Structures are given as C-alpha cells and as structure tokens.
Amino acid sequence: MTEACREVEVLVSLGAAGALEGADAAALEAHLHSCPACRAEKERLAGLLGMARLPPPDAQEAAALSDLSSPLLGELRRRERRGQVLRRLLTGGAVAAAVALAILAPALLRSHGPSLKPGPEVASAPVAAAPQSWEEPDMTTLWDESAVLDYSSSSSDGGVADAVYAAYDSSDT
Amino acid sequence: MADQGDDRRPALRVVPGGSGHASREEEALLAAFLVGDDEAFGALVHRHERLVLSLVRRYARTPEDARDLAQRTFLRAFEAARRALRHAPRGAIPFRRWLIRIAVNLGKNHLRDSARFRLVSLEAVDQDRLRSRAEGAADELERAERVARVRGAVLRLPRRQREVLTLRIDAELPFAEIAEALQITENAARVNFHHATRRLKELVEEGTP
C-alpha cells in the first residue's frame, strides 16, 4: 500500500457505502483511476456492505409492522392519566403532611425539645463510618445505562436534560 | 387536525429537523399532540416510523419484536418530550435525534438480552428464507451462508462502530446526522465507519472455513 493509498483509505470505505460527494468523491475517483488495488478494495467493501444490508420487509413482516400509532396512542394516553393521578396524589399528600406538621410541630418541640440537641457522639459516629463503607461506582456502567438522551451544549438546559433522563429512566422496561 | 387554540400550545422548538419547513411542521405536530390532538400524533409516528423500524429491525428476532422495539422507542421519545416541556415550556426538542438515540440504545439492550438467552434473530429467519430459496442451488446456498455470516458479524462489531455502520446502511443517514445523534464529530463518525468496514471484513474472514 502506497502513501497515496493510505491517504484515501477512509474515502475508499465511505465510497463503498456511496457516502461521498463533492471534493471527496472527486479525490477518490482520481486515485482509483490510477490504482487498481484500491479499486478492487472498494468493490470488495461494496459487496460486503451490500450483504450487511437487510432486505426490505416481506409481506408478512410489513403486515406485522403496520399501524404502529393506534396502540401507541392508547398507551400514551393511559400513562398520561396515570401521571396526572399520581401528581394529584403527591400534591395532596404534601399538603396534608405540611398541615399535620404545622399542627403537631409545636407540641413535639415542647415534649422533645431538650433531646433535639445533638450530643457529641451523635455528631461524630456516622460521619466517620461513611467513607469506609462507600464504594466508588463504575462510571462506565453508569454512563452506559444512562446515556440515552442528550442535548447538545447549545440547546441544553439543565432542568430539561434532567427531565429527559428522568423520563428515560422511569419508562417501561 | 383539530385546532386546539394557540394559547394552549406549548411554545416548543424542535431541533434539528432537516429543512426549515419540515422542522416547523414537526414542531406544530408535536405541540398539537401534547395538547391532545390525536391526529397530530398519528402524523408524527407516520413521519418517523420508517426510520425507527429500519434501525430496530437489525436487532429484532421476529417482526413482532421489531414492532415492540419501535413502539417502545416512540413511547420513550414522546414521554421525554412531554416531561421536557413540563420543565421548560420554551425548551428545544430534538425529537428526531431522540428517536434515533433511543432506537439505537434499545437495540443494543435487546442484542445484549438476546445473546443472554440465545434466541433466534430476524437474521436467522432471513437465513432460513434464503436457504429455502436456495434448495438445490449450491452457489445460492453458499451466498446465503455468507450473507448470514456478514450480518452476524455486524452484531459483533464494537458498539460505536456498529452504531455508525447501522445508522448509515440501515437508515441511510448522512454522516452529519449520525454525528449529531451520537454526539460525536462528523469526522469521528466517518472514521468509525471506516474502522467498522475493516473490522467487519476481518470478522467475516475469521469465520470463513
């Protein structure tokens, strides 16, 4: 393989997939014109990619894949209703908890006031134990499991991205 | 499509969407669906179902599997859009990019699970079809086996190479869009494609008796 061949080897692969145009296509054509080895390689790769492509769906497969939207719509609307009910329950629960806390807090503070002051042993024990039991997570696995949706930096918004990740994580399995 | 009233529609932006006209149409459809327009939903699914199916077929064992993967892809993308808009009503929604990314990831997970349970894939179904057609014709049979070997090798490519290769040959996406979907540079997408073809060739040669 010559230096000129090495320079165009990426283009040979892309050309075999029919993915070149403009200056790149012209540069490859110019090289192939004078290099039978690269011409043959491009043919071989084109044949390989041709075999790698899936055939179009036959009638049986096409029938199985038709009308995706109707059952999807039903499922999405069901989830929407479930989400609304859940949000109402959570909101109601939070309000009830706040009211209960407001009513009970003064009484609790009066009866347990002195014990709320932390002793020296309370402050030190759990904090000292924590670093020994903590294990660093495998970041590759974490990323692999969560890297589904992302924003480009130009269009991202922290809150939105979080919501998107949350949507993926909480979706069906 | 029923008009739900502009005041009820979320002020979203869909990015990127190919031509400006297509992008605006998609934006309007997604906004309409999110305020309850079922026809807009059907139109959006119809617009992208070919893309999604072309991506998930590679990983499916049966046509029903492919249908299930496609439906899950749409569900996740629509739910993500809804939640994103709830948190940022004027946020941008890269809906098509999400669909591609979700389909690729579901395919990857499905491939992992299929390997675990050693299930028969659509590749094998296709191979059976080719075999039956090739009864009595040795060269056809040989070709059928080679095709099956090549498609099997595609699934054994390193993940990034497989993603780039299948996005190109299954969905016929331009490298700029592949790069955007996978959050890599266009040059990295092109180089990964090159490595994928080289590795594919090696894998097929390794498996050739």
Nearest to residue B52, comparing CAs of A72, A168, A49, A47? A72
Domain boundaries, chain A: 3-52
pLDDT at B24 over 50: yes
**Which is more confidently placed, B164 or A139?**
B164
Residues of B in contact with A150 (CB under 8 A): 101, 183
**Could you please report the per-residue DSSP string of A50-85?**
HHHSPPPP-HHHHHHHS--HHHHHHHHHHHHHHHHH
- Contact at CB, A147 and B105, closer than 8 angstroms: yes
What pLDDT, in 10s, does the model give residues B145-154? 889 999 999 9
N-terminal to C-terminal alpha carbon distance within chain A: 49
Q: How far apart are CA A58 and CA A49, in angstroms?
A: 20
pLDDT for the residue numbered B3: 42
Mean pLDDT of A7-35: 93
- Contact at CB, B197 and A171, closer than 8 angstroms: no
Residues 158-177 on B with a CB inside 8 Å of A are 165, 168-170, 174-175
Q: Tokens representing B191?
A: 């180089």
> Taking all residues of chain B, what is their mean pLDDT, rounded to a whole number?
81
Residues of A in contact with B200 (CB under 8 A): 48, 52
What pLDDT, in 10s, does the model give residues A60-73? 888 877 777 777 77
Residues of A in contact with B78 (CB under 8 A): 72, 76
Residues of chain A with pLDDT > 90, as a percent, come to 27
pLDDT for the residue numbered B17: 45
Q: How far apart are CA B34 and CA B8, in angstroms?
A: 10
Q: How far apart are CA B190 and CA B186, in angstroms?
A: 6
Q: How far apart are CA B67 and CA B65, in angstroms?
A: 5
Q: Are B121 and B151 in contact (CB under 8 A)?
A: no
Residues of B in contact with A168 (CB under 8 A): 76, 80, 102
Give CA separation, A20 vs A6, A95, A98, A144, B171, in Å.
Answer: 17, 62, 64, 32, 16
Provide the pLDDT confidence category of residue B4 given band limits of 50, 70 and 90: very low
Mean pLDDT of B122-132: 56
Q: If you count residue pairs, one on A and one on B, with CB atoms under 8 Å apart, how many are there?
A: 152
Residues of B in contact with A61 (CB under 8 A): 63, 66
Q: Are B80 and A156 in contact (CB under 8 A)?
A: no
Residues of B in contact with A55 (CB under 8 A): 126
Q: Are A64 and B71 in contact (CB under 8 A)?
A: no
N-terminal to C-terminal alpha carbon distance within chain B: 59
Calculate how close chain B gets to A135, using CA atoms only, in Å: 26
**Which is more confidently placed, B24 or A118?**
B24
Residues of A in contact with B72 (CB under 8 A): 171-172
Report the residue from A10, A48, A71 with minimal CB separation from B204: A48
What pLDDT, in 10s, does the model give residues B35-64? 888 888 888 898 998 999 999 999 988 888
Calculate how close chain B gets to A88, using CA atoms only, in Å: 15
pLDDT for the residue numbered B15: 53
Taken in order of first residue, the domains within chain B and their CATH numbers are 10-117 (1.10.1740.10)
Q: How far apart are CA B185 and CA B178, in angstroms?
A: 9
Mean pLDDT of A23-40: 94
Question: Residues of B177-187 as b/e, b for ≥16 C-beta within 10 angstroms?
Answer: bbbbbbebeee
* Residue from A28, A168, A170 whose CB has the most chain B CBs within 10 Å, to mutate: A168
pLDDT at A26 over 70: yes
> Taking all residues of chain A, what is their mean pLDDT, rounded to a whole number?
75
What residue has token string 């057609």? B133
Q: Are B66 and B122 in contact (CB under 8 A)?
A: yes
Chain B residue with Cα closest to A154: B92
pLDDT for the residue numbered A81: 77
pLDDT for the residue numbered A134: 60
- Contact at CB, B79 and A162, closer than 8 angstroms: no
Report the residue from B80, B198, B200 with minimal CB separation from A52: B200
Residues of A in contact with B55 (CB under 8 A): none
Chain A residue with Cα closest to B70: A68
- Contact at CB, A61 and B198, closer than 8 angstroms: no
Q: How far apart are CA B203 and CA B64, in angstroms?
A: 29
Q: Range with the lowest mean pLDDT among A128-132, B28-32, B118-122, B200-204?
A: B118-122
Q: Are A8 and A31 in contact (CB under 8 A)?
A: yes
Calculate how close chain A gets to B15, using CA atoms only, in Å: 8
What pLDDT, in 10s, does the model give residues A104-132? 888 877 776 555 555 555 555 555 555 55
Q: Which value does ipTM take for this structure? A: 0.76
pLDDT for the residue numbered A165: 52
Provide the pLDDT confidence category of residue B170 given band limits of 50, 70 and 90: very high
- Contact at CB, A159 and B75, closer than 8 angstroms: no
Label residue A85 left, alpha or beta by phi (over 0 means left) and psi (-120 to 50 means alpha).
alpha
- Contact at CB, B63 and A61, closer than 8 angstroms: yes
pLDDT at B142 over 80: yes
pLDDT for the residue numbered A154: 40
pLDDT for the residue numbered B6: 47
Nearest to residue B55, comparing CAs of B72, B37, B42? B72
The amino acid present at B185, given as its one-letter code, is T
Print the SS3 string covering B48-68: HHHHHHHHHHHHCCCHHHHHH
Q: How far apart are CA A168 and CA A162, in angstroms?
A: 10
Chain A residue with Cα closest to B66: A65
